[in-house]
Amino acid sequence: MSLPAVQILQPRDVPLGGVRAMNVRRTLPHRERPLVGAWCFVDHYGPDTVGRGNEGGMDVAPHPHTGLSTVSWLFEGEIEHRDAAGVIGPVRPGEMNLMTSGHGISHSEVSTSNTTILHGVQLWVTLSLADRDGPRDFQHHTPEARPLDENGSTARVFIGELPNVDRSPVSTFSPLLGAQLDLAPGARIELEVDPVFEHAVLLDSGAVTVEGAALPVAGLGVLDPGRATLELEAGQEGARLILLGGEPFEEEVIMWWNFLGATHEEIVEAREQWQRREARFGHVPGYVGEVEWLPAPPMPRTRLKPRTRYLPEAPPAS
Ligand code: MN
């Protein structure tokens, strides 16, 4: 049996945030692929120079989420997360912030004055319909760098498990994998993976082939289930990668702006509740910016369709 080739998803540039948008490179959702496991959103940004007064940095005013978890992971810089549950969570390189919205949350994300270069990823995980109205949650984890070979290649597993490498203590609502891989120059790694999972490899810097396919920078190489190993080969400058995986997510979920829900009506209701600043999303204490909160864009004239359709008219805020 021959497995299908690696699916390469090219990134697209998207402005992020409100008044002073920074540009990110987005690969999920993608017209050709809405999800990889329960991972439903992948943004890669930087390295961006950040000047005095956070010029060129991240400043995303309070905005809502429903039905998902967000992962913040940095290569350089520092971001301060504040949310309506009262969490003030800085995140630095090698540390993970995992926020779960439950039924509803709002948060802000601002690069701090310690930041001169901002460089990282933001990832979202869809919750199953059974879990989406649960409580809010926040977890922070700093994984160890575990060796992958004798030449200095390492893995930092922030979510899930890489067999014989490391396992993260972070709890998730569905089986997932998330890790940073740093491959030494010329490294050739045969990585043991869960054959039930779909996988995606994001190239941050350097050069790499996945199962023989070269990845573009900030692009994703996606692999269907059925593989017990992933073969990675770094170029002469080495490679920094993010590896994602998860069981195929079979439920139909609608994703629009920053909301995930089961039906068009649920999304409309969440939007109206946010616009009216209702208690469902709470209040983010201590955010100071040019706007107090990010209003939702208008709903499209057509009914929202489930996850198989990408809706470019309402790009997520972050
Ligand atoms: Mn957000």
Q: How far is the CA of 14 from the centre of ligand 1 (A)?
A: 15
DSSP run (H or E) holding 177: strand 176-183
Amino acid in position 256? W
Distance, in Å, from the CA atom of 201 to the CA atom of 212, rounded to the nearest integer, reads 13
List, for the chain, all residue ranges whose pLDDT scores fall below the cut of 70: 1-4, 17-21, 307-318
Q: What per-residue confidence (pLDDT) applies to 307?
A: 66
Q: How far is the CA of 229 from the centre of ligand 1 (A)?
A: 33
Q: What per-residue confidence (pLDDT) applies to 4?
A: 59
Q: How far is the CA of 42 from the centre of ligand 1 (A)?
A: 12
Q: How far is the CA of 238 from the centre of ligand 1 (A)?
A: 32
pLDDT (tens digit per residue) in 118-163: 999 999 999 998 899 999 999 999 999 999 999 999 999 999 999 9
Q: How far is the CA of 97 from the centre of ligand 1 (A)?
A: 12
Q: How far is the CA of 185 from the centre of ligand 1 (A)?
A: 35
Q: How far is the CA of 100 from the centre of ligand 1 (A)?
A: 10
The token duo for 227 is 């593989």
Q: How far is the CA of 181 from the centre of ligand 1 (A)?
A: 25
Q: Is 158 left (phi over 0), alpha (psi -120 to 50) or beta?
A: alpha
pLDDT (tens digit per residue) in 148-160: 999 999 999 999 9
Q: How far is the CA of 260 from the centre of ligand 1 (A)?
A: 12
Indicate the SS3 state at residue 263. coil
Q: How far is the CA of 60 from the centre of ligand 1 (A)?
A: 8
Q: How far is the CA of 62 from the centre of ligand 1 (A)?
A: 8
Q: What per-residue confidence (pLDDT) applies to 9?
A: 96
Q: How far is the CA of 123 from the centre of ligand 1 (A)?
A: 10
Q: What per-residue confidence (pLDDT) applies to 189?
A: 98
Residue for token pair 């000047």? 51
Q: What per-residue confidence (pLDDT) applies to 32?
A: 87
Residues 116, 139, 57, CA angle at the centre, nearest 5°?
20
Task: List the one residue out of 39, 306, 310 whose CA is nearest residue 197.
Answer: 39
Q: Is 247 exposed, middle or buried (0-12, 13-18, 19+ CB in 10 A)?
A: middle
Please answer whether residues 62 and 31 qualify as being in contact, where contact means their C-beta atoms are separated by less than 8 angstroms.
no
Q: What per-residue confidence (pLDDT) applies to 22?
A: 82
Q: What per-residue confidence (pLDDT) applies to 313?
A: 42
Please answer whether residues 315 and 63 qualify as being in contact, where contact means their C-beta atoms are separated by less than 8 angstroms.
no
